[in-house]
Amino acid sequence: MSLDWIYYAISWILLTWHSAWDAIGVPVGAVIGTNFAWILAIVFLVVTVRVILFPVFVKQIKSQRAMQALQPKVKELQEKHKGDRETLQKEMMELYKKEKANPLMGCLPMFLQIPVFLGLFHVLRRLDPDKQNKTLYGWTADQFQSASQAKLFTAPIAGKFGSTADELASLGANGTTVKVIAGVLVLVMIATTYLTSRQMILKTGWAEDPQQRMIQRLMLYGIPASLLISGAIFPIGVIIYWVTNNLFTLGQQQWVLRKFPPPVTAKKTTAPAASRNPVQPAKAGGLFGRGKTAPPAPVKAAAPKVAGPKPGAKPTNNPKKGRPAKRQG
């Protein structure tokens, strides 16, 4: 199956945004060793894709809410079919189908962005001045030449941490500079990838379903760890896309989680009514759920009860109250 349609689409969005920034007056030439028109074109490629995928993101949040609401039923099934994994999986699939919840929906936005990532990866790999066909995927020769010379702090956006000496020579790049810029960006990419998963898990909690919990662990630890190795083959422009996408995700998740907070599930307790504390203090703010816990409201000490006079009883006077002391003659 040909992926040319993806390469044409990615190229068209990149070139459109680059032309827009050029028309606005963003310098095409390098400023502080950076061609901002091309960097902004990559950044707004992210914005374009995320706007298109926003309805999918909303479905992802709804699915996660549905999965969270089903956790008590999932727990019951696990206790009921303890030791019978096959029956447990069958019952859980029926439960998900009945409640219209999909455990894999949480990964859908990421999967839908894989073609965009691969398309950008392919397009940027072609930015080699030695290439003969410079007009592929709708590029003009001038646009190709401009993009192949685009840099971030003097490191070409087509360069990567693992670039060979020949590749660096064709791009006219310094190997040390490329490794430093690419290395820093890879570390930022790993950190922001970890934080996006951690942010969601801290707000929604770990799943009771082993399958869902395994997916959460993969998202939290597996993917960031894999980037430590695979990041060496990503062009700098692709890493800029990934970091921008992660930052966009952090902001979008924070907005959604504040506007539509996860439902609070009541936990069973055997404590007596007098010692129960059903209302848990909410976490206040914090980008990653590490805000300070709101202090409980101070409880005023109850005044001691004073028994009132019985109906029909004569009032008793306190001879000492309000009377001056008698003087000794």
Specify the amino acid at residue 117.
F
> What does the pLDDT read at residue 83?
81
Residue 248 domain-assigned?
Answer: yes
Residue 328 belongs to a domain: no
Report pLDDT digits (tens) over 30-88: 899 999 999 999 999 999 999 998 888 877 777 777 777 887 888 888 888 888 888 88
pLDDT at 286: 47
With 90 as the cut, is the pLDDT of residue 235 above it? yes
Distances 259 to 60, 69, 125, 201 between C-alpha atoms, Å: 15, 18, 40, 17
The domain in which residue 59 lies consists of: 3-259
Residues in Cβ contact with 241 at an 8 Å cutoff, skipping those fewer than 6 apart? 42, 45, 46, 117, 120
Paired residues of 151 in beta bridges:
156
> Is 116 buried (19+), middle (13-18) or exposed (0-12) by CB count in 10 A?
buried
pLDDT value at 111 more than 70: yes
- C-alpha 115 chain-centroid distance: 20
Measured at the alpha carbon of residue 114, what is the angle toward residues 62 and 64, in degrees to the nearest 5? Answer: 15
CB 61 within 8 A of CB 176: no
CA 131 to chain centre: 38
pLDDT greater at residue 311 or residue 107: 107
- For residue 220, pLDDT over 80 is answered with yes
**Per-residue pLDDT for 267 more than 80?**
no
Q: Does any domain span residue 193?
A: yes
At 276-315, the pLDDT tens digits run 434 333 344 445 454 444 445 455 555 555 555 555 555 5
Residue type, 264: V
Q: Is the pLDDT of residue 115 over 70?
A: yes
| 18 contacts: CB under 8 Å, gap ≥ 6 | 37, 38, 41, 143, 147
What is the reported pLDDT for 195?
Answer: 94
**Residue 214 falls inside a structural domain:** yes
Domain for residue 301, yes or no? no
Mean pLDDT of 114-143: 88
pTM above 0.85, yes or no: no
Kindly list the distances between the CA atom of residue 56 and the CA atoms of 49, 51, 253, in Å, as whole numbers in the listed order: 11, 10, 13
The reported pLDDT for the residue numbered 271 is: 40
- Counting the structural domains of the chain, the total is 1
**Cα separations in angstroms, 212 against 55, 175, 223, 244, 261:** 22, 43, 16, 27, 20
The pLDDT score that the predictor gives to residue 193 is: 93
- Assess if residue 134 is contained within a domain: yes
User: Residue 220 has what DSSP assignment?
Assistant: I
Query: Is residue 320 domain-resident?
Result: no
Does a structural domain hold residue 75?
A: yes
